[in-house]
């Protein structure tokens, strides 16, 4: 009996430790290390000379505002099928 209780406590402690680990990991902010500039072995290449600025094209003349097209008329509701006052009789069959 004592051996079974020991295993239960071992499992409970492991579960508590796992929960505590993930709780602690979620509450501490993650700071990624940034490489210091002194560790660069080769100097960074000089930036390329910028292109001379091209003249901007002349703005196009604004178009006149066009009126919005009229909405299409709603389709007419289909006519209700006419129902005869008497139910249709099946065609007579002759033996």
Any domain includes 24:
yes
Any domain includes 20:
yes
**Cα distances (angstroms) measured from residue 52 to each of 46, 49, 55, 73:** 18, 9, 9, 57
Any domain includes 78:
no
Q: Range of 14's domain?
A: 1-28
Any domain includes 75:
no
Any domain includes 45:
no
Report the number of distinct structural domains present in the chain: 1
Any domain includes 74:
no
Q: Which residue has the higher pLDDT, 27 or 31?
A: 27
Looking at every residue in the chain, the average pLDDT score rounds to: 74
**What is the C-alpha to C-alpha distance for residues 37 and 44, in angstroms, rounded to an integer?**
10
Residue 12 pLDDT class (50, 70, 90 cuts)? very high
Any domain includes 71:
no
Count other C-beta atoms under 10 Å from residue 13's C-beta.
Answer: 10
This prediction's pTM: 0.30
Any domain includes 6:
yes
């Amino acid at each position: 009996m004592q051996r079974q209780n020991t295993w239960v406590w071992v499992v409970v402690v492991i579960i508590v430790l796992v929960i505590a680990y993930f709780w602690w990991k979620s509450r501490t902010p993650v700071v990624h290390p940034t490489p210091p500039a002194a560790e660069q072995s080769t100097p960074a290449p000089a930036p390329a000379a910028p292109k001379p600025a091209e003249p901007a094209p002349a703005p196009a003349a604004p178009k006149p505002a066009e009126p919005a097209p009229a909405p299409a008329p709603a389709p007419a509701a289909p006519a209700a099928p006419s129902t005869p006052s008497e139910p249709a009789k099946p065609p007579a069959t002759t033996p």
